Amino acid sequence: MDTPLVSCICLTYGRPPDYQYLLEETIDSFLRQTYPNKELIVLNDCPEQELICDAPGVRVVNVGERFATLGEKYNAAISIAHGALLAPWEDDDINLPWRLSVSVEQLGDADYFNPKRYWFWDGSGLHFDHSMGYGHNLSLFTRAAFETVGGYPAISGAQDAAMDGALLAKVRSFGGPYTGQGELPRSEWYYIYRWGVQPVHLSGAGTPELFYQEIGTRPVQPGSFRLHPHWRRDYVAATRALLADEGGAGEESQRGDDTAAPSAAAERPRRAPSVRDELLADGSMVLYRADTNQLLTINPTAALVWAYCDGAHEVAAIAAEVREVFPDAPDIEADIMRLLHALMYASMITTRQPRSS
């Protein structure tokens, strides 16, 4: 698998001290990414605050004057990034560990990938049945595409919608029903959009341009702030729990449209191309993913499931094959789903099928 450098672009302003944890969580989301070749640019234009972070692959840039618009701030951050691929990285949302791996794989030879599908976390908890927005903040695009459309427009609040529209109109795009492809299975959704966790959310402003300017006039606590990346909760476990409660990784809520992902039983898991396996004498198996240096040992029953992860067998068919071997085993379908979730979390399998050329 080709692993071009991905530059994750994180814009921030005035988070410390009360909402410093949001930025620390989004940096930790970057550090948890299984994709190996990556960098995170954190551009801070709050003149009174200096941010410091020593985490590997993270580059904090503090500037002494606030940018006039968010669009100009994005363009400035991208100008100092090194990657051929670019990923917006919001400073108050959560990216699950497979975001970059899935995005690079799905981008393929296209220029813009945006699945327009994400989790939603608000005051009542985690959801998947909300209405979906532009989703540009969970996208991946090439630097060539960025240059083709002339970068972000010099506006605040609607710069993401404008950029999404420009990319869809002018470059090769992939992802989601809006470009004619099937929906990303919910088990592979990698983004948690958080609402109500902080008071300066431009998306909720009636006049975002004016709100952006007003935010810049608010008093902040001056000083130097050292960032300590961490998650305050296990977001992977939260999404897996909701998947289990709803009956499986691929089952889609009933929204009355024809863009729903297939049910869990209809998904066809396949082994990631870069994974090598070795069968041991006791029937267990070692899985090794060379591009991320990940190692996983699975038991003999799991090794049997692994053998059927060929992209041709649906989950239901895999369960039937395993039940032939273990006819008296209880809850075998649930056990297989748990195993497949674990393999997906470890980036050993995917339920997305390769695109035909």
What predicted TM-score, i.e. pTM, was given to this entire model?
A: 0.69
The average confidence (pLDDT) of the chain is 85
Residue 162 has pLDDT above 80, yes or no: yes
* 203: pLDDT strictly greater than 80: no
- The residue with greater pLDDT, 328 or 23, is 23
Distances (CA, A) of 37 to 4, 126, 344: 7, 30, 20
**Residue 239 near residue 128 (C-beta atoms within 8 A):** no
Contacts 24+ apart (CB under 8 A), 296-300: 296/343, 296/346, 296/348, 298/339
Domains of the chain as residue ranges with CATH? 6-245 (3.90.550.10), 264-350 (3.90.930.60)
> What pLDDT, on a 0 to 100 scale, did the predictor assign at position 82?
98
Residues 6+ apart with CB under 8 A from 149: 163, 166, 167, 170, 171
Q: What is the pLDDT confidence band of residue 211, given thresholds at 50, 70 and 90?
A: confident
